[in-house]
Structure 1
């Protein structure tokens, strides 16, 4: 039992680190909201595919929040923890539905839309409605891109049996 718990923690830690790195490697600042676009969503979605709701939330929240902290976007850390954590949780939850099993890209799209909406709501209070609205298109594209890549990788990894480790 302890060995299984250690494996789970190790897998989460690896995916948290990968989320942090993928978020930091390519980050494009968005001046209107003092935020940035990144590639971390693909790892959050991959964690949702691999680990389910709990893992999607943990990897999304901690991995993305850690990247914000390390990049100096500390004002976003609590928002990111909630928004990205729920992004992974929502995608994983929807993957368990009949639609999610048949068309796995749909849960990813909805998780990405939630992410854009979550940041939009938070940024209204931080910067005003106009500036917050300016970040929505970029966040939607970021979420869609991450969802497509994660879906393709998830299907390929399932065929290799890597999820059974």
Structure 2
């Protein structure tokens, strides 16, 4: 539980320090996905979902994007949960890649609908590429750091 709390805090820090505003969606691109994916990889689906949901919610509330808070809770919560579930269902290298891909796709689709609901379909469409890039960068960081963290913390990769 301590590691999950630290990863939640890390997701919030990554989301605030590495922040690129997107004027056309009134949202932003950040690196919170890296900590969400690491949480799902090290601790499993339920912690990954909890870290993701609350990190997205808190980030939006403290960043001035309260209109996105419920959507981010769902988008990043499902991202962490489904990434962890796929990795548990299909262990090994392919499970990690498939889990990360599913997480990215779910997050991008959720934000497409959030932007479309809050603004319009064009805004939702404009957010697809930056959200995909955000997810891919987060996945790459998670792939680079999950194994060394697992070894250092003596955790079995979930």
TM-score normalised by length of structure 2: 0.92
SS at match of 1:33: coil
Match for residue 114 of structure 1? 106
- 2:39 counterpart of 1:75: no
Cα distance in 1 between the residues matched to 2:6 and 2:135: 21
SS at match of 2:155: helix
Q: How does 1:3-152 map to 2 (within 5 A)?
A: 8=1, 10-98=2-90, 100-103=91-94, 104-152=96-144
Match for residue 163 of structure 1? 155
Aligned-pair distance for 1:161?
4.4
Please tell me whether the aligned partners of residues 68 and 114 of structure 2 are also in contact (alpha carbons under 8 angstroms). Answer: no
Structure 1 vs Structure 2 CA RMSD: 1.4
Task: Name the stretch that deviates more: 31-40 or 104-113.
Answer: 104-113
TM-score normalised by length of structure 1: 0.88
Please tell me whether the aligned partners of residues 57 and 84 of structure 1 are also in contact (alpha carbons under 8 angstroms). Answer: yes
**Bigger radius of gyration among the two:** 1
* Stretches of structure 2 lacking an aligned partner (at least 5 in a row): none
* Stretches of structure 1 lacking an aligned partner (at least 5 in a row): 1-7
Please tell me whether the aligned partners of residues 105 and 148 of structure 1 are also in contact (alpha carbons under 8 angstroms). Answer: no
What CA deviation, in whole Å up to 9, does each residue of 1:76-102 have, x standing for no partner? 11110111000000100010123x423
Match for residue 3 of structure 1? none
SS at match of 1:163: coil
What CA deviation, in whole Å up to 9, does each residue of 1:108-146 have, x standing for no partner? 122011101110011111111111100100100110111
SS at match of 1:142: helix
What CA deviation, in whole Å up to 9, does each residue of 1:28-53 have, x standing for no partner? 11111110000110000000011111
